[in-house]
A and B are shown apart, each in its own frame.
Chain A
Amino acid sequence: MANALELRNVGKSFGSVIALQGVSIEVEEGAVTCILGDNGAGKSTLIKILSGVHKPSSGEFIVAGAPADYDSPRDALDAGIATVFQDLATIPLMSIWRNFFIGNEMTKGWGPFQRLDVASMKAIAKQQLLAMGIDLRDVNQAIGTLSGGERQAVAIARAEYFGAKVLILDEPTSALGVRQSGIVLKYLLKAKERGVAVIFITHNPSHAFLVGDRFFLLNRGQLLNRFERDNVQLEELTKAMAGGRDLETLTEEIQAVRDRG
């Protein structure tokens, strides 16, 4: 499969703070690329570069084989890179179909008689959600009445429908329970099956391991490690993510505290 996007030796600094340094990743079409890292590892900065919020300070950002230079999230969106933010994905009080088409409303008629094509939008929203396995009887209900997992799913379906070739999911499972997380992971795989390049950003190695094809580990703004699906186990991933030796030290320290008590 071809690379949907690549970062080559990318760095980003804000004033004297270096947020990212020498990061190179390749994201394949029809695969799930996981980016793992603890808090402060540089995940947010990486997302912001990929989604067009920030420009890299150094290195190359390549989309579909050509250098990319985005001034805004809208540019990235137009290039087919859609980002589903953890909690900024949907508007709770608005209906499901309105949420689905927000910013991309379908209209009919012209001039002052231009109006929303409500019937088509409802039908498409229903059908697209059904294709993802979400069967809603009523797309008129407020999206706030859906569970967190389903709301993420609506956001994913929406991104796909509007032509996302690269789908960035920012911590989609971090606020969800086990079952809801499972639902989101399932939709994520559905998107992959349709040939979308999925970038799954998480600090949960178990979730990443369930769906990932390739794993990049970030730590303190640098790429610590990379694994392919075939040559990694969950234990290894978890350990690598927690910083290997750091975790062992931490375990010993905790044990020491417990022994004292």
Chain B
Amino acid sequence: MQTQENVIEIRNLSKVYRDFWGRKKVQAVKSLSLDVKRGEVFGLLGPNGSGKTTTIKMLLGLLFPTSGSISILGKKASDVAKNERIGYLPEESYLYRFLNADETLDFYGRLFNISAEQRNQRADELIKMVGLDHARRRQLKEYSKGMTRRIGLAQALINDPELVLLDEPTSGLDPIGTREMKDLILKLRDQGKTVVLCSHQLADVQDVSDRIAVLFQGELKVLGKVDELLELRDETEIRTGNLSDEAIAEVQAVLKKHGMSEANIQKPRADLEELFLKTVRESGERPGRRFTAEEMAATQPAATEETSDSSASQS
């Protein structure tokens, strides 16, 4: 259940990058004002160079605002104490590559002054959660990009944070990882945590976000609930079981009677992500077998059931 309490308050935030001589190079963020409410998943969207990451880094105190103010969990961005309650997954997992997964989580846990027992327990849970149990003793330099993102996510959650900042969380992940990441974000929301994610993977943001903001060249262009922003108010979609040709003709006749002369009635399609996930799942159950298009099509709806709550279109 969302409350109206603001976890993040940004007011008239601007950031100008300057060169060595203090001359203006680029204005990355221009008079940005927005709030993030407790318990929501907030998506920060925009093309490359739109100021998403700059905003996140100003929230974390890695960059200093040129003007404007930031309040995060009731504290200033420059106050290190706020970090006790924040988890941050950087754009790329900036971790110590000579450590293994256990050591990595242990190290970051120690920065939170978590006791050794708790650290071990938490590290164990997180490593299993991100699916790196098999590689926990390998140094990070031997990890693939996806594995690095996973351990990056684990370190962001080591302190069981109230606020999670995820910068391009699905970058470098395969579709399974992407799906798991999205599931995890929703799980975090269900646990009452606030999640801010910035990405240019629009579909990913759409799937999980309650509200979004779209930035372009440092300016806020759109801000609102995803459902409201994406709703097509002048169209209606009806979804049902498989219809015979006669039934289709009858439906079209009814629609024509109500003045809808060009109704589009066709077999629905799963997206490629769903196809991929099903293939991988089936391959795991029946190794060495190749699937025909008919076989895949026969069970398509099953693939969409998992995400029907959040992804079923109403427009």
Q: Are A and B a genuine interacting pair, yes or no?
A: no
